Chains A and B, each alone.
Chain A
Amino acid sequence: DAGVIQSPRHEVTEMGQEVTLRCKPISGHNSLFWYRQTMMRGLELLIYFNNNVPIDDSGMPEDRFSAKMPNASFSTLKIQPSEPRDSAVYFCATSPSGGHYEQYFGPGTRLTVT
């Protein structure tokens, strides 16, 4: 199993540009979570999906952030327009519906907005 796949691993962009982060979940996992990690705020849950449906997006910081899960094997997190305060590591994690409910994390995308 390849694990959770995230791309790109690193992204450097200028303020005002659109940024799209991508996640491919582990096959068979039907819950997907997007987290943001910064030194100041730690790990924050942004949004999560169950069976491709957004369940809770209360962690999305503002309207500049949007997330989609068009099918069971792909999700995107988009920031438009990006700002320097969006610089962080963004993690995607997935979880099976049964079992012990732990989440399996991807390697993260380090985003730097200049």
Chain B
Amino acid sequence: AQTVTQSQPEMSVQEAETVTLSCTYDTSESDYYLFWYKQPPSRQMILVIRQEAYKQQNATENRFSVNFQKAAKSFSLKISDSQLGDAAMYFCAYRNLNTGTASKLTFGTGTRLQVTL
């Protein structure tokens, strides 16, 4: 079974600085997707960024980028120029591609990010 580990329960960053959230996963599959979701105090789960395992290039969405290391099974999220609105719980998630079209997501336990002035 796949597992996703987020070893940092809490992180803090100053506004305008850069922070990196860690995620590792365990799988025997070669084809899969990885995601980062953000959950602000409103509770809404918002997709931040996704990475296809077959792509070597790291995904980027504006101030958000990932460092995907397939051999190491590592998938960290970098937030540049942090803003107060980035304060939230961040979840790393894994999805296997080889089990049909309705495959579940496996989530990590989350990292709570605080942004300070």
Contact = CB atoms under 8 A, between A and B. Distances in A.
Contact of B47 (A49, A104, A108): A104
Contacts of B107: 42-43
Interface string A69-100: 00000000000000000000101010101101
Given A105-B44, A107-B43, A42 B109 contact: yes
A101 B104 contact: no
Interface residues of A, number: 26
A48 B47 contact: no
Contact of B102 (A43, A48, A104, A105): A48
B33 interface: yes
Contacts of B46: 105
A12 interface: no
Contact of B50 (A95, A97, A100, A110): A100
A51 to B, nearest CB: 8
Nearest to B109: A42
A56 B104 contact: yes
B84 interface: no
B4 to A, nearest CB: 10
Contacts of A105: 37, 44-46
Contacts of A43: 91, 107
Interface string B93-114: 0010100111111010110000
B103 A101 contact: yes
Ranked nearest first, the 7 interchain pairs of A and B with the lowest CB-CB distance are A50-B102, A105-B45, A31-B102, A43-B107, A97-B101, A108-B43, A45-B104
